[in-house]
Amino acid sequence: MSAVFEMFESIDTLLGGAASLWVELAAMFCFTLGFVLLRFKASKQPAKSAKKLAATPRVQKIQPENYTKHRMRMEDAANCGNATKLVQEWRTAQAKSPTPKDLLKPVVQAFLDTETEALVPEIMEHLEQHKSVMANQWAATTILDAVARSGNMKVLEDFWGRLNKDLGIPHGFLLYETTIAGYAAAGYPKKVEEFHQAMQKENFRLSARGYSLIMKGFLKNGLVDEVKHYMVEMTEKGHAVPTFAVAQLFRVASETNRVHEVYRKLKERAIPIQPEAIAVLLEDCVRKHSQDMALVIEQEARAANIVLTASSYDSLLKVYAEGCNPRAHLILKEMQNQNMNLSDNLCVSLLARCAEGKFVGFAEEIVQQIRKNSKMTIATYSAVMKVYAYSGMYSKACDLYDDIKKDGIEPDAMMYGCLMKFSVECGRTQLSQQLSEKVSVLDIQNYMSLIRAAGRDRDVDRAFAVIQQLRENNVAPDSIALNCVVDVCVKAGDIKRAEQLVAEMEELKLEDIVTYNTLLKGYCQKHNIKAAKELLEKMAAAGKQPNDVSYNCLLNSLSSNGNYKDCWDIVEKMEKSNVKPDHYTASILLKGIKNMRGAHDVQKCFEFLDRCGVDPCCDEILLNTVLEICIRHKESGRLSRLMADFEKCNLRPAISTYGSLIKAYANLNRLDKCWFFWDQMRVDRGLEPNDIVWGCMLDALVTNGEVDDAMKLFERQCMRPNPVICSILVKGLANTQQPRRALQLWREMKQNGMKMNVVAYNVMIDSQARLGNMDEVMEIVQEMAADNCQPDSITHSTICKGYAVKGELAKAIEVLENMQQSKVPHDAIVYNTILDGCAKHKRVELVEPILETMEANGVGPSNFTLGILLKIYGRQRDLDKAFEAFKTLPRKGRFTPNTQVWSVLLGTCISAQSPDQALKVFRDMQAAGVMADSRGCTSLVQCLVRLDRFHEAIDVVDAVYGLQNKRSHNQNSSIDQECLESLLTSLAQAGLLEEQGAPLLQRLRAAKVSVSGRLMATALRTEVTKKESASAKPDDAKKGRVHPWEAKNKTVGFGK
């Protein structure tokens, strides 16, 4: 039996060292062949074999009954985890019998736990004693595996060397893998590589199990790069990477923020990424708030036909909900199609993320899903309330209370407190009172909600009653509650009671900076600036230094009153007191000057904004204010930079802000961006635009010439019409010469129940009057009377314009007389409209009577009036009347002639063939700091050149471009290149090119005036021509000279 046992052990050793299938097959074949031969020999020579067996030395064994007892005791000790007893029992039996296979590993582990130093010598001695049975690959592998798992690398190294050296056990395949796995588990990548190379030298290759053990050990130690290396090598060797390894690699990489890098590396090496690993990747995206990465992973997983797990869907919902990504809707629908239900915890988590991003549409879809599959809970209702509250939709949050009662759910104290707060915010103070009665014991926050509700109703007595109720319940009001009552007094305008309460708080030592700031707000609301400033001094004396809120409150009052000088004094005081201005400070200053026409204060505010480092994108109120000012004052450069900064920030705009963004991009002629934010608001975030935002979007389309798109948007959305929408669309149709369509739109809106106002009617009248459609105008006026809308001055002026356009000036004057008789307030606009009609239809005889009527009714003329008169007198070539009007009208109307009026006067002189008068006007313009427009300057130069007054023409060119006095060039004034060519040609023909033309060209180029190559070529060509015709008679040369504009049949200067 001993020989047979030894033979089996040899076979076991051989099988253990076989790494591949062919080795195993060869071993099996050899075993079968050897066994048959041995059996054959034994049958032939039984006597000799028996003698040989009898002569074989036997290992002394314990008697069977004693061996069984020792084995049972060892098994009991091993099962009970009693390492000390196990070692004792093993020592009792080890010398007389080899350790059973199933107990060798527990024995080694027991030594490691109790007597590590004795392990190597005693086990080695035991193996030596039972060498024939124990000195094999199986025993060595078992021992090394137990030591490797313990992480004791010193003992592992001792065994590795002595097993081979002392017992002659070869370093087989299993021994290498076991040892390498041990070093990997201990985190020794260099040792792993060393043994791996040694293994390869002995023609052993790592099995799939070996690679898995290495990666498992490295993952345990967070060695990401080493895991990647062996994972790639494993793939190259033809082994499939285990799923656990890829998923765990991503978990480890997540801890060091290397998930994206590792993911890309595995994708490059074509290592399969299974659904479990995808789930880990998406979980990391949720933790890192990486929506873009999640989108990439999802798309690539779908492209690879990887089935997403429930965990992956959950992660996608979370990351898309947080980022307000519309894909969240698609993912939820896909889960519904696959009958995947959302857990309560997941729903609450998703709703919380929707609240942060104000993703109302998706939140409501989740609620629908919950109601469909189960019932709403107190947790889900709380989460939905949070969504509405974060979005400023407090009324909708309060509406949930009815649903809660229908579902038979009793809100807890916290929910009641929130509902009370929301009801106050949306002005439903009666609901807040009802909710307060539902709570048996109100906490301080509930009482404060009641006080704020009293503030909403401006009910000071009720606020004080709440304080009294607090005291009756043995709750001493703190400074926060008392400050709320002070605020109620301020809101109600009861400054006296506010002062009394502040005095009581001072006696109780409960006053703080909020107390004084609230009282300060009351003084400012009453415009009592003196008391406000005295309170600031009192605060400083009491050790309560005014903060940014204090100064902002005073600034707001001063700004509202238009006292901007004092505003800047307060700002200066803030900066000297080291109180840093914030976005509220900037908002107040900008809001105060947004309606101002002067650019000085606007620029000063922008400089302040840049100096204090306030980012407009950090606050929606400030952002809206800055956008409005940039639009109003045509600050296109700043507006463009601000929009670029906004797109980089993380601000989630509210509905009103979307209107400002659309309006801003419309002014920048970026309709693509207008559509982007429109879709983001409606589709991505599920927000419903209000009338203002609707108006901004339609106006953006209309002002950018996309009237048809505006009409399609209006018709497609089937929104309820209102006067603002009607005005915008009608104005767009009128601008594109579509009066019939405008009239049809108005009629349809009227049929749908739209109630018009005066502004909308004026727009409708203008859409028809500008084309002279007076029958339609009268129809609209009749509807206006039927709607009880009283016509204003704009209505009458527009009707006058219609008659003036049509040429029915008598009717226009009749409308004007009716306005005067009805004492309808009117200004110069209506007179200008009729005068403009007189000019267009050449009814000069009506001009003087209209001017007399205008003066008789105390209506002062304007620049527009003067411009019309100059055009009329210019056509009559009556310079005396033109100059008389230019002299007298500005005094009567108390205005300064603008550039357009000066240019008209200049043109009048030129058309009246009076170059001297034209030059005088031009010089007067220079003295007044005004420069004519390009058309006027060009006409003047052409006029002077035609009369061979070259020196004066050159003076005009010098003046326009500032060539002599180094004055900066006015970009609105220039002279056509064709006119300059004519001037140089005439100079050359007159023999003055070298003396006057060439210096002029040099001055133009030195001033960086755009001088075309054609202009230079003209000068050179003309000079050559002059030299070639030098022999011609002067009179013949002059007679043959033809100006370029005459050759082109142009009428300029004194032409016909």
Is residue 420 scored above 50 in pLDDT? yes
3-class secondary structure per residue, 844-905: HHHHHHHHHHHHHCCCCCCHHHHHHHHHHHHHHCCHHHHHHHHHHHHHHHCCCCCHHHHHHH
Amino acid found at 520: L
User: Do 834 and 800 contact (CB within 8 A), yes or no?
Assistant: yes
Distance (Å, whole) CA 461 – CA 232: 78
What pLDDT does residue 666 have? 93
Secondary structure class of 831 (helix, strand, coil): helix
Q: Which of 489, 486, 492 is nearest to 504 (CA)?
A: 486
If one counts every other C-beta atom within 10 angstroms of the C-beta of residue 431, the result is 19
pLDDT digits (tens, 9 = 90+) for 756-794: 888 888 888 888 888 888 888 888 888 888 888 888 888
Amino acid identity, position 589:
L
Select the more confidently predicted residue: 46 or 899.
Answer: 899
Q: For residue range 118-136, list pLDDT tens digits in order.
A: 888 888 888 888 888 888 8
137-182 per-position pLDDT tens digit: 888 888 888 888 888 888 888 888 888 888 888 888 888 888 888 8
Distance CA(756)–CA(779), nearest Å, equals 14
Per-residue model confidence (pLDDT) at position 1018:
56
For residue 270, the Cα-to-chain-centroid distance in whole angstroms is 35
Q: How confident is the model at residue 837 (pLDDT cuts 50, 70, 90)?
A: confident
- Predicted confidence at residue 671, as pLDDT, reads 92
Q: Are 609 and 586 contacting, i.e. CB atoms less than 8 angstroms apart?
A: yes
Q: Where are the alpha helices (DSSP H) in 526-563?
A: 529-541, 548-560
Query: What is the rounded CA–CA span in Å between residue 262 and residue 277?
Result: 12
- The mean pLDDT value for 230-248 works out to 85
Burial class (CB in 10 A: 0-12, 13-18, 19+), 597: exposed
Task: Please give the pLDDT value at position 139.
Answer: 86
Is residue 958 within 8 A of residue 991, CB to CB? The reply is no
606 pLDDT band, cuts 50/70/90, is confident
Return the DSSP state at 324. T
Q: Which of 336, 333, 323 is nearest to 289 (CA)?
A: 323
The Cβ of residue 1005 has, within 10 Å, a number of other Cβ atoms equal to 12
Alpha-helical runs (H) found in 477-547: 479-491, 495-507, 513-525, 529-541
985 contacts 1018 by C-beta, under 8 angstroms: yes
754 Ramachandran zone, left/alpha/beta (phi>0; psi -120 to 50): beta
Candidate ranges 370-379, 660-669, 725-734; pick with highest mean pLDDT: 660-669
* Residue appearing with tokens 């209006």: 714
8 A C-beta contact, residue 208 and residue 234: yes
Span 507-524, average pLDDT: 87
The Cα 767–Cα 703 span in angstroms is 15
Residue 9, pLDDT > 70, answer no
Per-residue pLDDT, averaged over 944-962, amounts to: 87
SS3 state of residue 526: coil
Measure CA of the first residue to CA of the last residue in the chain; give whole Å.
Answer: 138
Structure token digits, residue 708: 């048809």
Sign of CA dihedral 1017, 1021, 1022, 1023: positive
The answer to whether 956 touches 941, Cβ cutoff 8 Å, is yes
Task: For residue 349, give the nearest of 330, 335, 362 by alpha carbon.
Answer: 362
Q: Which two tokens stand for residue 406?
A: 């229908």
For the residues 911-928, what does the mean pLDDT come to?
A: 87
Please say if the pLDDT value at position 1034 is more than 80. Answer: no
At 1048 the pLDDT is: 39
* pLDDT of the residue at 665: 93
pLDDT band at residue 19 using 50, 70 and 90 as cut-offs: very low
Give per-residue pLDDT as tens, 552-586.
888 888 877 777 778 888 888 887 888 888 778 87
pLDDT at 1010 over 80: no
Residue 397 pLDDT exceeds 90: no
Res. 497: pLDDT tops 50? yes
Query: What percentage of the chain reaches a pLDDT higher than 70?
Result: 86
CA 740 to mean position of chain CA atoms: 42
- Identify the helix (H) or strand (E) that includes residue 986: helix 977-989
Q: What is the 3-state secondary structure (H, E, C) of 747-759?
A: HHHHHCCCCCCHH
pLDDT value at residue 440: 54
Assign 421 a pLDDT band (cuts: 50, 70, 90).
Answer: confident
Residue 14 in contact with residue 26, Cβ under 8 Å? no
Q: How many helices (H) and strands (E) does the chain have?
A: 61, 0
Amino acid, res. 971: Q
pLDDT higher than 50, residue 853:
yes
Confidence check: pLDDT of 692 > 60: yes
Identify which of 86, 97, 94, 87 has the alpha carbon closest to the alpha carbon of residue 62. 97
Contact 290, 319 (CB under 8 A): yes
List the structure tokens of 524. 């400012």
Provide the residue count of the chain. 1056
CB environment 873-908: b (16+ within 10 A), e (fewer): bbeeebbebbbebbeebbeebebebebbbbbbbbbb
Task: State the pLDDT confidence band at 377, using cuts at 50, 70 and 90.
Answer: confident
Q: Are 756 and 725 in contact (CB under 8 A)?
A: no
Whether this prediction's pTM lies above 0.85 is answered by no
Cα gap 127→120, rounded to integer Å:
10
At 24-76, the pLDDT tens digits run 454 455 556 655 555 544 444 443 333 333 333 333 344 445 557 777 888 88
Three-class HEC string of 763-800: HHHHHHHCCCCHHHHHHHHHHHHHCCCCCCHHHHHHHH
How many beta carbons lie within 10 A of that of residue 261, not counting itself? 13
Instruction: Write down the mean pLDDT value for the chain.
Output: 80
In our burial notation (b when 16+ CB lie closer than 10 A, e otherwise), range 263-276 reads: bebbeeeebebbbb
Confidence of residue 676 (pLDDT cuts 50, 70, 90): very high
Taking only the tens place, the pLDDT of each residue in 303-328 is 889 889 999 999 999 999 888 888 89
- DSSP assignment of 366-404 equals HHHHHHHHS---HHHHHHHHHHHHHTT-HHHHHHHHHHH
Q: What is the dihedral of CA 302, 303, 306, 310, to 10 degrees?
A: -10
Confidence of residue 1019 (pLDDT cuts 50, 70, 90): low
Coil/strand/helix, residue 342: coil
Among the listed residues 377, 370, 428, the one whose alpha carbon sits nearest the alpha carbon of residue 398:
428
- 870: closest CA among 807, 917, 928? 917
**Tokens for 757?**
């106002």
**Residues 194-226: tens digit of each pLDDT:** 888 888 888 888 888 888 888 888 888 888 888
- Find the largest Cα–Cα distance for the chain: 158
CA atoms within 13 Å, Cβ hemisphere of 779: 12
942 in Cβ contact with 979 (< 8 Å): yes
Phi, psi of 878, rounded to the nearest 5 degrees: -105, 85
Q: Determine the Cα–Cα distance for residues 608 and 394; give it in Å rounded to an integer.
A: 36
